[in-house]
Amino acid sequence: MGQGACSLTQTERLALKDRARQLLQERQAVLVAHYYVDGDLQDLALETGGCVSDSLEMARFGRDHHAQTLVVAGVRFMGESAKILSPHKTVLMPDLDATCSLDLGCPTDDFSAFCDAHPDRTVVVYANTSAAVKARADWMVTSSCALAIVSHLHAQGQKILWAPDRHLGRYIQEQTGADMLMWNGACIVHDEFKGGELELLRQEHPLAKVLVHPESPAAVVAQADVVGSTAALLKAVMELDAPEFIVATDNGMFHRMRQAAPNKVLLEAPTAGNSATCKSCAHCPWMAMNGLQGLVDCLERGTGAVEIDPALGRTALRCIDRMLGFTAATAKPVGLVSGIGAA
């Protein structure tokens, strides 16, 4: 299990950060972190020449970096994507048990049967899936490029089988008009944002812009000033001329947002009404498993190595390569699902 920064003293945190910095250098490794992980890991990645980004950019960065050891601070599918893209590199993770509800909710056998039942459809899967599910797919997408890729396929007259996030799928379907058959998965963090309570919060903060990740329910997306990937939401906070933002995504994102726009007021989108007895914390329990101690342990002992069967990796690589080829050729603005101002 990873050790969250909140259970460490300031002295321990600084000592672990120093040790991790030293180990990254000794092992000639680079740290690739997601926006949702612990702030110390994000800072360390930036301070040591790594990156902090969304899953699309993490995949690109890891593939293109010269380091032969990648340390992926995020969840399992991110480490797997890094290994599939760079099979000859060592890919380490602070905690290999860090997974994702979308990945868990899309078992390979059931998904294969779903694909077999609809052979006339182009299979498009979200990055948040296992290597085995990706091996069944024609295309992989992330929230940064899903809209552009589905628009492209729709324009070619292709019918789509989409998995696993139903909210993102519905949003893409509404935006493109594509014929999409959906898998019924959801992110346990974004699924908790509530439309009714968001309306009340907007009334209290009439000048606030609403930024929403498209894994959120329709009633939340409908109130957005910006719908976008994590990179797009960060860009919106930096560029939009508003004093306040209501943000509907994992609150790990606030670390970079506060650094990038220190004068803006950031409010968490509500996850429950006042009467709720159980309220989501809007933070992914699996992203929270990434900690400084886990990072030091994997670098020191070589634990947490991601392994993928080479044949499976080669098959899964096709859908990832197709996505990376498409995004390189179309060079869409980083992180945008829909343009700033769109809802």
Q: Which of 91, 172, 187, 248 binds ligand SF4 (CB under 6 A)?
A: 187
Q: Which one of 37, 51, 189, 336 is in contact with ligand SF4 (CB under 6 A)? A: 189
108-147: contacts with ligand SF4 (CB under 6 A): 128
Task: Count residues near ligand SF4 (CB under 6 A).
Answer: 13
188 binding ligand SF4? (CB under 6 A): yes
Q: Which of these ranges, 174-182, 229-237, 283-291, 335-343, lies near ligand SF4 under the rule CB under 6 A?
A: 283-291
Minimum gap (Å) between residue 78 Cβ and ligand SF4:
8
- Compare residues 17 and 213 and give the one whose CB is closer to ligand SF4: 213
In the bound state with ligand SF4, the residue whose beta carbon lies nearer, of 32 and 67, is 32
* Dihedral sign, Cα of residue 27, residue 28, residue 29, residue 31: positive
Whether the CB-CB separation of 122 and 26 falls below 8 Å is answered with: no
**Listed ranges 15-23, 64-72, 150-158, 281-289: which one lies at the site for ligand SF4 (CB under 6 A):** 281-289
Q: Which of 139, 183, 245, 286 binds ligand SF4 (CB under 6 A)?
A: 286
Nearest distance from C-beta of residue 164 to ligand SF4, angstroms: 10
282 is a site residue for ligand SF4 (CB under 6 A): no
Q: From the CB of 268, what's the least distance to ligand SF4, in Å?
A: 14
Q: How far is the CB of 148 from ligand SF4 (least distance, A)?
A: 20
Decide whether 86 or 128 has the Cβ nearer to ligand SF4.
Answer: 128
Among 101, 216, 230, 271, binds ligand SF4 (CB under 6 A): 101
Q: Which of residues 35-74 bind ligand SF4 (CB under 6 A)?
A: 36
Q: Is the peptide bond prior to 107 cis by the omega test (within 30 degrees of 0)?
A: no
Closer residue to ligand SF4 (CB): 100 or 336:
100
Kindly tell me which of 69 and 290 has the beta carbon lying closer to ligand SF4. 290
Q: Which stretch binds ligand SF4 (CB under 6 A): 88-96, 181-189, 289-297, 315-323?
A: 181-189
Cα-Cα-Cα-Cα torsion 31, 281, 192, 146, nearest 10 degrees, comes to -10
User: Which residues of this protein are in contact with ligand SF4, per CB under 6 A?
Assistant: 36, 75, 100-102, 128, 187-189, 250, 284, 286-287
